[in-house]
Amino acid sequence: MNALTIVTLGLILAVVAESRGITGGLGPQQFAGPGEQALVQTNRDAILRKLPSFMSGPFGPLKALVYRKQVVKGTNYFIKVKMMGVQPRFLHVKIYTGLNNRSHIKDVEGSLMRLKLISAFSVDH
């Protein structure tokens, strides 16, 4: 095989792997829909409890903007959330949904710039 064939095969495999979503890998960023908004709304109180201590209320509605998924034993959703209010703030929220469809908040990254890209994160509290 020549180098061009090997490179072509590598690219094809990468595209197939990306489109199928490899377990443990972080999927592409997508616009949030009703399902992601429902996850945020269902877990609103838990999100507010996990906010960094320097962030204080009152807190307006939370709006899911974009998200990325990670398939594990269940699914991790990394969601960019806009906290509405006089001065809107942006959060990254990690929500785990188990195989039983129950969800809970794993981490919250607060006070972010609007343009920060979603990535896997873990916050030490």
User: What is the pLDDT confidence band of residue 2, given thresholds at 50, 70 and 90?
Assistant: confident
pLDDT of residue 125 exceeding 50, the answer is no
Average pLDDT over residues 93-111: 92
Which domains are delineated in the chain? 24-112 (3.10.450.10)
Q: What is the pLDDT of residue 54?
A: 77
List own/partner pairs for 30-38 with CB under 8 A and 24 or more apart: 30/66, 30/67, 30/68, 31/65, 31/66, 32/64, 32/65, 32/66, 32/67, 32/79, 32/80, 36/64, 36/67, 36/77, 36/79, 37/63, 37/64
The pLDDT tens digits of the residues spanning 22-49 come to 566 889 999 999 999 999 999 999 999 9
Q: Which residue has the higher pLDDT, 16 or 65?
A: 65
The pLDDT tens digits of the residues spanning 44-56 come to 999 999 988 778 7
Task: Record the pTM.
Answer: 0.74
Task: Report how far residue 27's alpha carbon sits from residue 20's, in angstroms, rounded to the nearest whole number.
Answer: 9
pLDDT of residue 66 exceeding 70, the answer is yes
Q: What is the pLDDT of residue 117?
A: 65
- Mean pLDDT over all residues of the chain? 81
